[in-house]
Amino acid sequence: MMTRFPSHVSGRLCLAAVLGCALQAAPALAEDGLQISPGVTSMTVETEDGPVEITRSRNETQLIGGVLQPLVPVPGVQPAGELEVLAALQDPNARVVDMRTTEWRVKATIPGSIHIPYTEVSMRLDELGCTGEQGKWDCASALEVFAFCNGPACPQSPTAIKAMVREGYPAEKIHYYRGGMQDWMVLGLTTAEGMF
């Protein structure tokens, strides 16, 4: 037996059904197609058991989707891990720099880091040991910089590193903590919240 509803109720039920189906499908769409590199969402490798397609899917440990960043964003820049970042936090000749936007920094950051957003770094190299101004920096006394953002798929610190080098900052004095906040938090290291 079929139940009949008034048209205004029937329309709402149809809309609810469509939205329900869309919401159920949404997670599958969000998980599929994260890029490995620009324009590449999968690659196939040959194994002893035959071809295997490697893809990326969203999971609860990722802060952002993004495209995977190279370990060395500019020749001469040195990769850094958590132990090097911890040592830099104790070194008066080094600065651990959170290069993310303010919205991300206030959520959680590495205690003892300073904040220079990636969009401002080329104007603020004086905070990292350079003298002069944008376009005319003298970085002979540059500090060791440990740059980070949201993790391996975050382009903010690589963008900032490229700007620093373009402005004359010595690449060999820049250390890229590619793991960033994503790895820092996954490893259970202490964070600071509400920092500006």
- pLDDT, one tens digit per residue, over 111-168 is 999 999 999 999 999 999 999 999 999 999 999 999 999 999 999 999 999 999 999 9
Per residue of the chain (196 residues), what is the pLDDT tens digit? 444 444 443 343 333 333 333 323 323 323 456 888 888 888 899 999 999 998 888 878 777 788 899 999 999 999 999 999 999 999 999 999 999 999 999 999 999 999 999 999 999 999 999 999 999 999 999 999 999 999 999 999 999 999 999 999 999 999 999 999 999 999 999 999 988 7
Residue 181: closest CA among 158, 143, 147: 147
Q: What are phi and psi of 162, to 5 degrees?
A: -60, -40
Are 122 and 159 within 8 A, CB to CB?
no
The Cα 169–Cα 164 span in angstroms is: 5
Residue for token pair 């303010």: 102
* Cα 182 from Cα 63, distance rounded (Å): 6
Q: What pLDDT sits at residue 38?
A: 87
Beta bridge partners of 52: 45
Compute how many other C-beta atoms are within 10 angstroms of the C-beta atom of residue 175.
22
Q: Which residue has the tokens 């590199």?
A: 37
Q: What is the DSSP string of 23-53?
A: HHHHHHHHHTTB-SBTTB-EEEEEETTEEEE
Beta carbons of 32 and 57 less than 8 angstroms apart: yes
* H or E, element range at 185: helix 180-186
Classify residue 79 as exposed, middle or buried by CB count within 10 Å of its CB (0-12, 13-18, 19+). middle
